[in-house]
Structure 1
Amino acid sequence: MTADRVRAIWCRELHRDDITVDDDFFALGGQSVIMMRIQGAFIEELGAEVPMDQMFLNPTVASIAAYIDTHAALTP
């Protein structure tokens, strides 16, 4: 399930293990450098490119996972 994989990436990059699917990235202390690392992980681990603007528009695990499932361009 994409949400589980997104959550695992966020937990690792934010150095937390208590993230839920409804937690807001920015409320968790997320900022642009971490966001760039997460974007790289999405490409490497999920094969999905997620533009920066979508990271801002979808600030929860649930919303970004839904975006990935329906809109993200899959990398070759």
Structure 2
Amino acid sequence: MTDERTVMIAERVHAIWCRELQNDDVAYDDDFFALAGHSLIMAKIQRAFVLEIGVEVPVDQLYRNPTVASISAYIESLQTVAT
């Protein structure tokens, strides 16, 4: 069950990144900043996480976890603590 939830979170994060970066070719290990990500896009992603996943991710964590894989793992860790 945890693996299934982890995959679901990663897929949702990936979809948000693709939409906000306007790039359907984002790999799970691509760096946000290498994909021309900037603070405005980051703010949109942060808001989408609240609205679509139901989790607040501090800006510093977005900088520390600049890939879909790493930020998904961070979000998963938050949800594991919450349950």
- TM superposition score category, shorter chain reference: over 0.9
**Local SS of the residue matching 1:48:** coil
Over the aligned positions, Cα root-mean-square deviation in angstroms equals: 1.5
Aligned to 1:6: 13
Matches within 5 A, 1:1-76: 1-71=8-78
Letter in 1 for 2:55: A
Q: Which has the higher strand share?
A: 1
Give the gaps of 5 or more residues in structure 2: 1-7
Give the gaps of 5 or more residues in structure 1: none
Identity among equivalent positions (%) equals 61
Letter in 1 for 2:37: G
**2: CA distance, partners of 1:22 / 1:4:** 13
Q: Which has the higher helix share?
A: 2
Q: Which deviations, in whole Å up to 9, do the C-alpha atoms of 1:4-32 show, x marking residues without a partner?
A: 10000000000000001000000000000
Runs of 4+ in 1 over 6 A off after TM superposition: none
Q: How far 1:54 moved relative to its partner?
A: 0.0
**2: CA distance, partners of 1:24 / 1:14:** 12
Letter in 1 for 2:63: F
Greater C-alpha Rg? 2
**Local SS of the residue matching 2:14:** helix
